[in-house]
Amino acid sequence: MEKFPLPGSERQTLTGAKRIGAADRGEKFHVSVVVRPRDGKAVQEWAARLHHRNAKHQPLSRNAFAKSHGASAADIEAVEQFAQAHHLTVENSDAARRTVILSGTVAAFEAAFSVQLHHYEHASGQYRGREGAVMLPRELLESVQAVLGLDNRPQARAHFRRLRSPRHPEPRSASGAATGVSYTPPQVAGLYGYPAGTGAGQSIGFIELGGGTAAADLAAYFQPLGLQAPKLVSVSVDQANNDPTGSADGPDGEVMLDVEVAGSIAPEATLVVYFAPNTDAGFLDAITTAIHDSTNKPSVISISWGGAESAWTQQSFKAFDQAFQDAAALGITVCVAAGDNGSGDGASGNNVDFPASSPHVLACGGTSLQSKGNAIGSETVWNDGAQDGATGGGISTAFTTAPSWQEGLSAALTAGGTTPLTGRGVPDVAGDADPQTGYQVRVDGSDSVFGGTSAVAPLWAGLIARINGTRTTPVGFINPLLYGNPEACNDIVSGNNGTYAAAKGWDACTGLGSPNGAAIAALFVSKSEATS
């Protein structure tokens, strides 16, 4: 059977990694095969409608979604037949998620996809990997979007920063570094003028690639705030579980920061945590599981994990972005942290973080927030230097056309002047992220102060849950509406993240700015069904 490269599936060895031997041919694992939507034309038409400024959309019902955005029975069957012919087991086929989960041995997967799998050693640990493209028979090339999981390298990092050495009150430095203060999440919500609400009746989804929660920590955290610990539901994805590591500096820090920030801002919302392996397959499977969770039905999803675009394959960009477009079609808002390593995002040159760079998510950058009484005293771009972190932001090289709601915008440069958006601009919005003005949290039995754009995604998710709790339909994909009403955000005009500078209006450090909660809620005052 002649096979051909799957476009966008090419993998390269991680920089600094060393091949240490062939993978054990008897080793068993799982692979996720993602197929195209059933009705490509209908999906394109829906995507075009999403990008109109000031547009409000009636979300699709799950039945209507299945008829246009779900996978066709023929495409699913073709993948299943391919698997059977290559001695692979079909573990699950989900038309809504457009995903077929296969299991088998290294030998079977190597034969099926014409790849060679090896073990590699890297500073981040050992991983199973491949080089080059995944190969498929011609009849599958049009229907398959991605084959994920052959390579199980760590795909993303958590975007939180734990406060190490608070600064004593002193004048701001030239970089705008803040003096050491900290807040509870409800205090931050108060400074941002969040509307009244508890998120009652809503579910907030969290994507977590490791770590876990501790009931004792949650009880100890929420009681001093005068709140009951929120209802928390753990969902296992790809055999991962709620499994605390015992280290606040590891993934536990991310999980607890997420649920404590969003849970204290929307205390009556159900918090649904989707635990998955930190691989491209696990990450996408967690996202699609959350989007299509017909039991818990999250109306907003918070993602605080990601990595520089240079670390991803083109097939991942396509599959993830299509999943986020699915979320928009179903009326689900997805809030994603923009990264904590400035305009370089931890790689060479200028880079933005993915999945924050997807045009169908609300990318959340970071600020440094100083209060004056019960009001904002000052707010600047978060930039504590190369060692202590700075907000991510810049111009995507993966999504090379600016979304319609960013057309005509330019990014201000620290060196002076501006550069036009030759691709998707990141971030869209911002919020307090500086550990020096960070959030009081409890992790693994200890109280700490955390920052990072990891805190901003759940901060915005809590706001969306409050607003959704007052409506009969969720607000859904809000980017076009926010860009059409920039006054709903607090414009940040001071600071930089390295290459890019804050400026009046949108900028590549803080986007449109931090939330003016009441003004944002006023954009969605109708309690009736939103109309297209």
Residue 523 has a CB neighbour count (10 Å cut-off) of: 17
Contact 233, 270 (CB under 8 A): yes
Nearest-angstrom CA–CA distance, 388 and 392: 13
Q: Which residues pair with 40 in a beta bridge?
A: none
Q: Are residues 339 and 288 in the same domain?
A: yes
Q: Are residues 297 and 373 in the same domain?
A: yes
Left if phi > 0, otherwise alpha if psi is -120 to 50, otherwise beta: which for 342? left
Q: C-alpha distances in angstroms, 55 versus 65, 222, 479, 498?
A: 19, 37, 10, 34
Q: Are residues 361 and 415 in the same domain?
A: yes
Q: Are residues 118 and 217 in the same domain?
A: no
Nearest-angstrom CA–CA distance, 289 and 448: 31
In a domain, 65, yes or no: no
pLDDT value of residue 173? 36
pLDDT value of residue 168? 40
Q: Are residues 8 and 109 in the same domain?
A: yes
Active site residue 529: no
Q: Are residues 242 and 343 in the same domain?
A: yes
pLDDT value of residue 169? 39
- Per the listing, tokens 């476009």 go with 7
Closest CA to 146 of 324, 317, 306: 317
In a domain, 369, yes or no: yes
In a domain, 495, yes or no: yes
The single residue of 32, 304, 316, 454 carrying the catalytic annotation is 454
Whether the ω angle into residue 169 lies within 30 degrees of 0, i.e. cis, is no
How many domains are contained in the chain?
A: 2
Q: Identify how many contiguous H helices and E strands the chain contains and give both numbers.
A: 13, 30
pTM above 0.85?
Answer: yes
Q: Are residues 16 and 110 in the same domain?
A: yes
Q: Are residues 513 and 457 in the same domain?
A: yes
In a domain, 82, yes or no: yes
Residue 183 has a CB neighbour count (10 Å cut-off) of: 18
In a domain, 55, yes or no: no
Q: Are residues 119 and 231 in the same domain?
A: no
Q: C-alpha distances in angstroms, 376 versus 102, 171, 250, 370, 489?
A: 52, 17, 32, 6, 13
Q: Are residues 352 and 483 in the same domain?
A: yes
From 104, 130, 148, the end of a domain falls on 148
The single residue of 110, 252, 254, 285 carrying the catalytic annotation is 254
CATH of the domain at 417: 3.40.50.200
- State the number of CA atoms in the 13 A half-sphere of 149 facing the CB: 25
In a domain, 59, yes or no: no
The single residue of 110, 258, 309, 428 carrying the catalytic annotation is 258
Q: Which residues pair with 5 in a beta bridge?
A: 135
Closest CA to 405 of 508, 293, 495, 486: 486
In a domain, 314, yes or no: yes
Q: Are residues 127 and 205 in the same domain?
A: no
* pLDDT per residue as tens, the chain (532 positions): 899 999 999 999 988 999 999 999 999 999 999 999 998 888 888 877 777 665 566 888 999 888 889 999 999 999 999 999 999 999 999 999 999 999 999 999 999 999 999 999 998 889 999 999 999 999 999 999 999 999 999 999 999 999 986 554 333 333 344 457 999 999 999 999 999 999 999 999 999 999 999 999 999 999 999 999 999 999 999 999 999 999 999 999 999 999 999 999 999 999 999 999 999 999 999 999 999 999 999 999 999 999 999 999 999 999 999 999 999 999 999 999 999 999 999 999 999 999 999 999 999 999 999 999 999 999 999 999 988 999 999 999 999 999 999 999 999 999 999 999 999 999 999 999 999 999 999 999 999 999 999 999 999 999 999 999 999 999 999 999 999 999 999 999 999 999 999 999 999 999 999 999 999 999 997 433 333 3
Contact 243, 277 (CB under 8 A): no
Contact 114, 135 (CB under 8 A): yes
Q: C-alpha distances in angstroms, 430 versus 50, 371, 396, 422, 476?
A: 22, 16, 18, 21, 18
From 93, 125, 148, the end of a domain falls on 148
Q: Are residues 211 and 134 in the same domain?
A: no
Active site residue 258: yes
Contact 31, 109 (CB under 8 A): yes
The residue range of the domain holding 502 is 184-522
Contacts (Cβ under 8 Å, ≥6 apart) of 486: 505, 506, 512, 513
From 126, 148, 170, the end of a domain falls on 148
Residue 84 has a CB neighbour count (10 Å cut-off) of: 12
The separation between CA 333 and the C-alpha centre of its own chain, rounded to angstroms, equals 11
In a domain, 530, yes or no: no
The separation between CA 463 and the C-alpha centre of its own chain, rounded to angstroms, equals 16
Q: Encode 335-362: b = buried (16+ Cβ within 10 Å), e = exposed.
A: bbbbbbbbbbbbeeebbbbbbbbbbbbb
Active site residue 182: no
